[in-house]
Amino acid sequence: MTGPVPLQSDGETYLLPERIADLTGLGEFGIAGESIAALLGAALVGTLMLTMTAVAGPWAKRKITAAFTDRIAVNRIGPFGLFIIVADAVRLISKELIVPENADRPAYDLAPIVVAGSAMLGFAVIPMGSGIQLADPEVGVVYLFAVSGIASIGLVMAGYASANKYSLMGGLRAVAQNVAYEIPLVVTGMSVVIFAGTLQLSEIVAVQAEPLIELGGVALPSWYAFVNPFAFGLFIAANLAEVGRNPFDTPEAPTEIVAGYQTEYSSVYFVLIYLGEFLHIFLGGAIIATLFLGGPAGPGPAALGIVWYIVKIWAVFLLTQWFRSALPRVRIDQLIEIGWKGMLVLSFANLVLTAILVGAIA
Amino acid sequence: MSTELERTVPVTEEAELERLVGDRALSTDDHKNAPAFVVRPDAVQDVLFDLRDEAGFDHLSCVTAQQYEDRYETIYHLKKYDDPTQEVSVVVPTSTDEPVSQTAEPVYRSADWGEREAFDLVGIDYEGHPDPRRILLPETWQGHPLDLSYDQDKPQLVTLAEHANPLQEDHRDAETDTMFLNIGPHHPATHGVLHVKTVLDGETVADVEPDIGYLHRCEEQMCEQGTYRHQIMPYPDRWDYTANMPNEWAYARAAEDLADLEVPDYAQVLRTMGCELSRMAGHFLALGTFALDVFGDFTAIFQYAFRDRELAQDILEDLTGQRMMYNYFRLGGVAWDVPEPREEFFEKTRDFLDGLPTKVEEYDDLLTGNEVFQIRCVDTGILEPEIAKQYGCTGPVARGSGIDYDLRRDDPYGYYPELEWDVVTEDGKDNYSRVLVRMQEVEQSAKIVEQCIDLLEEWPEDDREIQSNVPRTLKPDPGTETYKAVENAKGELGIYIRADGTDTPGRFKIRSPCFHNLSTLAEMSQGEYVPDLVASLGSLDVILGEVDR
Q: What is the pLDDT of residues B117-132, one digit of tens each?
A: 999 989 888 888 888 8
| First-residue to last-residue Cα distance in chain A | 19
Rounded average pLDDT over B260-289: 90
Q: Inspect the interface and report whether the beta carbons of A255 and B188 lie closer than 8 Å.
A: yes
Closest residue in A to B375 (Cα–Cα):
A330
Summarised one tens digit per residue, pLDDT across range B181-200 is: 888 788 888 777 888 888 88
Interaxial angle between packed helices A229-242 and A305-326, expressed in degrees from 0 to 180 and rounded to the nearest 10? 70
* pLDDT (0 to 100) of residue B12: 67
Q: How many CB atoms lie within 10 A of CB B324?
A: 15
Q: Inspect the interface and report whether the beta carbons of A330 and B179 lie closer than 8 Å.
A: no
CATH fold, domain B219-548, is Cytochrome-c3 Hydrogenase; chain B (1.10.645)
Q: Inspect the interface and report whether the beta carbons of A326 and B366 lie closer than 8 Å.
A: yes
* Contact residues, chain B, for A258 at CB < 8 Å: 187-188
Considering only CB atoms, A247 lies closest to which of B181, B292, B372, namely B372
Least confident of A7-21, A209-223, B125-139: A7-21
Evaluate whether B90 touches B48 at the Cβ level (below 8 Å): yes
Report whether CATH 3.30.460.80 matches the domain B14-127.
yes
> pLDDT category, B51, cuts 50, 70, 90?
confident
Q: Inspect the interface and report whether the beta carbons of A333 and B529 lie closer than 8 Å.
A: yes
* Contact residues, chain B, for A324 at CB < 8 Å: 297, 299
Nearest to A250 by CA among A177, A196, A145: A177
Q: Inspect the interface and report whether the beta carbons of A68 and B300 lie closer than 8 Å.
A: yes
Considering only CB atoms, A325 lies closest to which of B299, B373, B375, namely B299
Least confident of A120-134, B298-312, B313-327, B413-427: A120-134
Which H or E run includes B206? strand B204-211
> pLDDT category, A1, cuts 50, 70, 90?
very low
- Round to whole Å and give the CA distance between A185 and A326: 23
Domain B14-127 matches domain B219-548 at the CATH topology level: no
* Contact residues, chain A, for B294 at CB < 8 Å: 255, 328-329
Nearest to B256 by CA among B547, B451, B503, B476: B476
Q: Inspect the interface and report whether the beta carbons of A326 and B307 lie closer than 8 Å.
A: no
DSSP B418-450: GS-------S--SHHHHHHHHHHHHHHHHHHHH
* pLDDT (0 to 100) of residue A45: 84
Considering only CB atoms, A331 lies closest to which of B297, B303, B531, namely B531
Q: Chain A within 8 Å of B432 (Cβ-Cβ)?
A: no
Summarised one tens digit per residue, pLDDT across range B72-86 is: 989 999 998 888 888
ipTM: 0.79
Which residues, at least 6 apart from A343, have a Cβ–Cβ distance to it below 8 Å? A180, A181, A184, A234, A237, A238
Whole-angstrom CA distances from A166 to A92, A245, B296, B531, B542 are 23, 18, 15, 13, 23
Q: Inspect the interface and report whether the beta carbons of B299 and A69 lie closer than 8 Å.
A: yes
* pLDDT (0 to 100) of residue B281: 92
Residue A11 in this model has a pLDDT that exceeds 50? no
- Round to whole Å and give the CA distance between A354 and B300: 39
* Contact residues, chain A, for B292 at CB < 8 Å: 255
Q: What are phi and psi of B444, to 5 degrees?
A: -65, -40
Instruction: Count interface pairs A-B at CB distance under 8 A.
Output: 85
Indicate the domain borders of chain B. Answer: 14-127, 219-548
Mean pLDDT, chain A, rounded, equals: 83
Beta bridge pairs of residue B394: none
**Cα-based angle B38, B43, B46 (whole degrees, multiple of 5):** 110
